[in-house]
Amino acid sequence: MKTIHLIQFGLGGVGRALVQRVLAARDDFEWRYGLQFVYIALCDSRGAAIDPDGFSHAQLRAMLAAKEAGQSLENTDWGYKRGGLEDIVDIAGREDAIVIDVTATEETAPALQLALDRGYGAVLANKKPLTGPIEQFRALTSSGRLRYESTVGAGVPVIAALREAIIPSHDAVHRIEGCFSGTLGFLTTGLEEGKAFSDLVAEARALGYTEPDPRDDLGGMDVARKALILARTLGWPLELEHIPIEPLFPPEMAEGTVDDFMAALPRLDASYRERVAAAGRKEKTLRYVATLAGGEVAVGLKEVAKASALGQLRGSDNLIAFHTDVYNQTPLVLQGRGAGVHGTAAGVLADIVALCP
Amino acid sequence: MKTIHLIQFGLGGVGRALVQRVLAARDDFEWRYGLQFVYIALCDSRGAAIDPDGFSHAQLRAMLAAKEAGQSLENTDWGYKRGGLEDIVDIAGREDAIVIDVTATEETAPALQLALDRGYGAVLANKKPLTGPIEQFRALTSSGRLRYESTVGAGVPVIAALREAIIPSHDAVHRIEGCFSGTLGFLTTGLEEGKAFSDLVAEARALGYTEPDPRDDLGGMDVARKALILARTLGWPLELEHIPIEPLFPPEMAEGTVDDFMAALPRLDASYRERVAAAGRKEKTLRYVATLAGGEVAVGLKEVAKASALGQLRGSDNLIAFHTDVYNQTPLVLQGRGAGVHGTAAGVLADIVALCP
């Protein structure tokens, strides 16, 4: 039996789903892999809890309950107001530790780098540390001890397909096309069905598919970050600002309150209806697509053939199509639920296991 | 730079494509992974060539040319009439060696076991050693040094999705459905388009999509072997004879020559036309499906919803749909070219790299 020590940054929805999943997997992993996971540190945005001997399952469950009830770790029996994440890495860590980043902030990058320098593993669902300056991406990934499956397509093994199937098979990648936003998938499916753009955004917002400000989804930045991570995984030396991003609203609507934005949306309905109709006359449909080809990446609304993998995609699934030498007539396609706390936590856990000896 | 020694059983189409791919990948793998591959033994069905110091690229190219010209290795300058494969493992081997099985025979199993017992790695595109008695599957896979991605879906990372994404994410698998035969995919697509079954089989045979005797494809045994490998990967203790297999021809047509079989095929056209029509009335279509659910596996022609992933599949691509706790509303789907020497060799090479330190 091998014991692996876990340090987790982030106890939001994904973070809590991950702790629950680690607890639930205990017996399975003991017999299947001979692995036992022990949490030695957990941090949220304000507080931290550290015990180098490991927290009991009862303690972890109590922390989850406190978080569910809206408390910060600093106010629990085991927590305190935290200082720097780097200190936590050094106080809690041991060589066999794995640091897990399920936050959504740049702020974790130095602590991740420190952990890797110390020889720990690191698993990210957080896209920010990998989409800053490329030197940072290279420094973090050069150890070979950092995994980031859940940054693109949640648990759908998109990164693994690239890093562990296509690249080591010496296959040449000609083009990658992906739909990496369930929210924008929901919208484009609805547009294809003839619904009004403004109604669809309102519906997506009401269903909780969008961020509180839907412009955070409609702006395309999250999709661009995912595309950048794929491009860098291919070895392309790109920065976020190299990627043209087409937002689904005009620049003047970027200003103002969310209510202003929602009120202005119906102005866009006619033009989206026309774009869908124009595509339809060519047996095409609209998808919000990240395209990687010839060393360049672009993100935006795109006409795709209705009969293609992207054109057949419906609803909020993610999809990626790899066009390569081997997959030349038809692409290699992966499709599945690309978001949600359970899918994301599942991808993180698979990465953790992959880092274990 | 780390040198890895390769011992390869099989120099048919896949075997030759693999040697070419290893040669072509040389520079890429040196800078990307710091890996250098050296062939120390190659075997075909009659002959072998061994050089513990490694063959030069010129020698390997000459061997490929001789094989392309229809010669056996035993008649080349480097080859001899071979004895047992186990002797080759012992003569050629060193601890860092990887044995590659791209044959299609049971006969390699003892040599693979010996290689694993000696601490080598092993990579299989050959399904036979993994679909014999389950004790043999367990003995071969228990080392953790055997990989077999290309046994199912060629390079499409089907096994990796199961072994390295779904199982270690502690996700519960409820049902797996797969189309694992490009040939049968071609036939069912044609049936859906209204073509006659007998014409489709003749066309598939003329295009080289089938074995010389098309009953080897239409019988379903190859699909059953793939399904068995998936089931055993899930931990299900099944044998090949536990799997009900529906062949696409009646028992009386199993006898007789290929010409007899082809001449008798038109008798089946009306019943297939009726089955397609009956499915169509329910918004369904026919696919040749391997189904894994509840610890049981079945292989046969199945009515699937036209709007499902399987129903949307066209042509000769392979497709697998995983229905799990995480992928509950829509399945996790992988689709791509599931056969052909280049796809299979690509999957084998990715497995080889994965075994390297």
Average pLDDT rounded to a whole number, residues A318-328: 97
* Residue A339 pLDDT > 90: no
Contact A160 B155 (CB under 8 A): no
Question: Do A337 and B327 count as a contact with CB atoms less than 8 A apart?
Answer: yes
How far is residue A62's CA from residue A71's CA, in Å, rounded to a whole number? 11
**Chain B residues touching residue A309 (CB < 8 angstroms):** 335
Q: What share of chain A is helix, strand, coil (3-state, %, to 5)?
A: 45, 20, 30
For the CA atoms of A84, A90, A96, A102, the dihedral, rounded to the nearest 10 degrees, stands at: 0
Contact criterion met (CB < 8 Å) for B155 and A165: yes
Residue of A28, A148, A170, A308 to mutate, testing the B interface (most B Cβ within 10 Å of its Cβ):
A170
Give the containing element (helix H, strand E) for B281: helix B269-281
Which of A226, A282, A302, A306 is labelled catalytic? A226
Number of cross-chain residue pairs from A and B with Cβ atoms under 8 Å apart: 129
Q: Is B202 near chain A, with CB under 8 Å? A: no
In this complex, which of A167, A326, A334 lies closest to B155 when CB atoms are compared? A326
Tell me whether residues B170 and A349 touch, CB distance under 8 A.
Answer: yes
Q: What is the pLDDT of residue B98?
A: 97
Contacts of A160 (CB under 8 A, 6+ apart): A149, B157, B160, B164, B165
Q: How far apart are CA B246 and CA B303, in angstroms?
A: 13
Scanning chain A, the segments in alpha helix (DSSP H) are 13-24, 26-33, 57-68, 85-92, 109-117, 134-141, 158-160, 182-192, 197-206, 215-218, 221-233, 258-264, 269-280, 309-312, 341-355
Q: How far is A204 from chain B (nearest CA, A)?
A: 18
What is the pLDDT, as a whole number, of residue B43?
A: 96
Nearest CA in chain A to B168: A350
CA distance B71 to chain A (A): 28
Smallest CA–CA distance from A150 into chain B, residue: B165
Q: In what order do the strands lie in the sheet with B98-101?
A: B79-81, B47-50, B35-43, B2-9, B98-101, B121-124, B146-147
Optimal mutation site among B23, B326, B352, interface A, most CBs of chain A within 10 A:
B326
What pLDDT shows up at residue A195? 98
The pLDDT of A45-54, averaged and rounded, is: 94
Query: Which candidate from B166, B335, B350 shows the least CB-CB separation from A164?
Result: B350
Residue in A29, A167, A326 closest to B343 by CB? A326
Contacts of A354 in chain B (CB under 8 A): 164, 168
Nearest chain B residue to A153 by CA distance is: B332
Chain A hits for B123, CB-CB cut-off 8 Å, are: none
Binning pLDDT at 50, 70 and 90, where does residue A86 land? confident
Architecture in CATH of B169-337: 2-Layer Sandwich (3.30)
Sheet of A121-124, strands arranged across: A79-81, A47-50, A35-43, A2-9, A98-101, A121-124, A146-147
Contact between B51 and B77 under an 8 Å Cβ cutoff? The reply is: no
As annotated, the residues of chain A forming the CATH 3.30.360.10 domain(s) are 170-337
- Is there a catalytic annotation at residue B226? yes
Give chain B's length.
357
In A207-340, which ranges are continuous DSSP H helix? Answer: 215-218, 221-233, 258-264, 269-280, 309-312
- The CATH code for residues B2-155+342-355 is 3.40.50.720
CA distance linking residue A186 with residue A217, whole number of Å: 12
A349 neighbourhood in chain B, CB within 8 Å: 168-170
* Average pLDDT over every residue of A291-296: 98
The low-confidence residues of chain B, meaning pLDDT below 70, are none
Q: Does B342 touch chain A (CB under 8 A)?
A: yes
CB spacing of A327 vs B333 below 8 angstroms: no
* Pairwise CB contact (< 8 Å): A332 & B336: yes
B36 touches chain A (CB under 8 A): no
Specify the DSSP class assigned to residue B312. H
Q: How far is CA B217 from CA A209, A277, B18, B251, B344, in A?
A: 46, 44, 24, 15, 18
Q: How far apart, in Å, are the Cα atoms of B181 and each of A103, A120, A308, B125, B320?
A: 43, 43, 21, 15, 11
Q: Which residue type does A147 have? A: R
Interface check for A3 against chain B (CB to CB < 8 A): the answer is no
Q: Check residue B250 and give its pLDDT.
A: 96
Judged by CB atoms closer than 8 Å, whether chains meet at B335 and A336 is answered as: no
Query: With contacts defined as CB-CB under 8 Å, which chain B residues touch A167?
Result: 32
> A79 has which bridge partners?
A49
**Across the interface, do B333 and A336 touch by the CB < 8 Å criterion?**
yes
User: A182, A316 in Cβ contact below 8 A?
Assistant: yes
CA closest to A162 among chain B residues: B157
Answer whether B207 touches A (CB < 8 Å).
no
CA-nearest residue to B322 within chain A is: A336
Where do the CATH 3.30.360.10 domains begin and end in chain B? 169-337
Total residues belonging to chain A: 357
pLDDT in tens, B127-176: 999 999 999 999 999 999 999 999 999 999 999 999 999 999 999 999 99
Minimum CA–CA partner of B24 in chain A: A170
For residue A199, pLDDT beyond 90 = yes
Find the catalytic residue in B67, B127, B128, B226: B226
Residue A182 confidence (pLDDT): 94
CATH code 3.40.50.720 region(s) in chain B? 2-155+342-355
Res A83 pLDDT > 90: no
User: Considering only CB atoms, which chain A residues are within 8 Å of B169?
Assistant: 21, 155, 346-347, 349-350
Distances (CA, A) of A62 to A19, A78, A133: 12, 10, 39
Contacts B356 to A, Cβ<8 Å: none
Across-strand partners of A292?
A176, A297
Are the beta carbons of B326 and A343 separated by less than 8 Å?
Answer: yes
Helix (H) or strand (E) holding B86: helix B85-92
Which of A166, A167, A336 has the CB atom closest to B327's CB atom? A336
Nearest to B247 by CA among B233, B263, B232, B261: B261
CB pair distance less than 8 Å for A157 and B157 = yes
**Residue A95 has what pLDDT?**
81
Kindly report the nearest CA distance between residue A129 and chain B, in angstroms.
Answer: 23
Sort out which chain A residues have CB atoms less than 8 A from B233's CB and list them: none
CB A82 within 8 A of CB A47: yes
What is the Cα–Cα distance from A233 to B350, expressed in whole angstroms? 16
How far is the alpha carbon of A252 from chain B, nearest alpha carbon, in Å?
37
The residue among B133, B159, B155, B132 whose CA lies nearest residue B146 is B159
Phi, psi of A223 (to 5 degrees): -65, -40
Question: Domain spanning A170-337 has what CATH number?
Answer: 3.30.360.10
CA atoms within 13 A of residue A135's CA, in its CB half-sphere: 1
Tell me the pLDDT tens digit for each residue of A87-129: 888 887 788 899 999 999 999 999 999 999 999 999 999 999 9
Contact B168, B233 (CB under 8 A): no
Chain B residue closest in CA terms to A161: B157
